[in-house]
Amino acid sequence: MDAGRASRTAAYMALFRAVETARRSARLFDDPLATTLLPSDLRTVAAVARLPVVGPMVPWVLDRGWPRTRSSGVVRTAAIDALVLDALAAGARQLVLLGAGFDSRPYRLPLADALTFEVDHPATQAVKAQRLRASGVEVDRTRFVGVDFERDDVARALRTAGFDAGLVSVVVWEGVVSYLSSSAVDGTFSLLARILAPSSRLIFTYVDKGALDGSRHFDEARRWKWWVGRNGEPFVFGFDPAEIGAYLAAHGFRLVSDVSTAEVARTICEPLGRDEPGSALYRLTVAERE
Ligand SMILES: C[S@@+](CC[C@H](N)C(=O)[O-])C[C@H]1O[C@@H](n2cnc3c(N)ncnc32)[C@H](O)[C@@H]1O
């Protein structure tokens, strides 16, 4: 990403959540803060999405431009919300958001007394913290940890911020690994294995490597890759789903589940009567520290 400005893909994810929140029915979640966290140009788009009659055209236009991107994004948000709440109900006492972007989970989900660590690039984090404070959001239970995954010692930064390696945690690493070098991804898995207590859960998303090297065909891959590249944040890393279990085992994690957002969409959208496709190239994985 461009180290001099807040992540644009993070802003688009918040736009997708704002547009979802503007739906009149069968919403997958409510994210009232999503609009507040947007830059002014995308805030205008979110405002249009709330208008009667023309509002429903906004997701339609987004889907024409970047097929399945919005759909995959809102489906993954809903699924991860449920996974975080499950982990907290099972005893997690700390929530770590790696590459938090404009995620508002710490302020919209019932986290009980869990302490939250928002870990992100300082360029994105500074903008978010400023927008949260300007809108009067209570951030007492949040620790902001500014790091560059490519360069910084994330474990040390977390410890300095008060992370307790003796407590069970839930870690969300959503929409981030595809933008990192393989050494930063490997390094982060290794440090997580070092600092996470047994039974801690790691929820992460990734792009099917076949979409990046062209060895598997996905209709939406070309436009999606063009779109993130145009935002200065090209996809550079993917996993092969066939290898994810072995990769996790080598890093001290047990694979719990690994599904595409197309599969998640079938599970959570069909019962609502919604025709959301998700995406076969974008995957959601849950792992547990052994
Ligand atoms: C697509 S956004 C995802 C944001 C959020 N997790 C979500 O799903 O809405 C990617 C995030 O990764 C962060 N990021 C990308 N490269 C990074 C790096 N080298 N170090 C730290 N954060 C990075 C960006 O700041 C941004 O917040």
Ligand 1 atom 14: residue of nearest CA? 99
| Cα–Cα distance for residue pair 199/184, rounded to 1 Å | 24
pTM over 0.95: yes
| Cα–Cα distance for residue pair 189/242, rounded to 1 Å | 18
Which residue, chain included where needed, has tokens 């994210």? Answer: 31
CA of 89 to the centre of ligand 1 (A): 27
As for ligand 1, residues whose beta carbon falls within 6 Å of it are 1, 7, 9-10, 13, 99-101, 103, 120-121, 124, 147-150, 174-176, 179-180
Residues 64-106 pLDDT 10s: 999 999 999 999 999 999 999 999 999 999 999 999 999 999 9
Residues 92-150 pLDDT 10s: 999 999 999 999 999 999 998 899 999 999 999 999 999 999 999 999 899 999 999 99
**Count of other CB atoms within 10 angstroms of residue 187:** 17
CA of 208 to the centre of ligand 1 (A): 18
Return all residues near 193 (Cβ < 8 A) that are at least 6 apart. 251, 252, 253, 289
- Nearest ligand 1 atom to the CA of 125 is 25
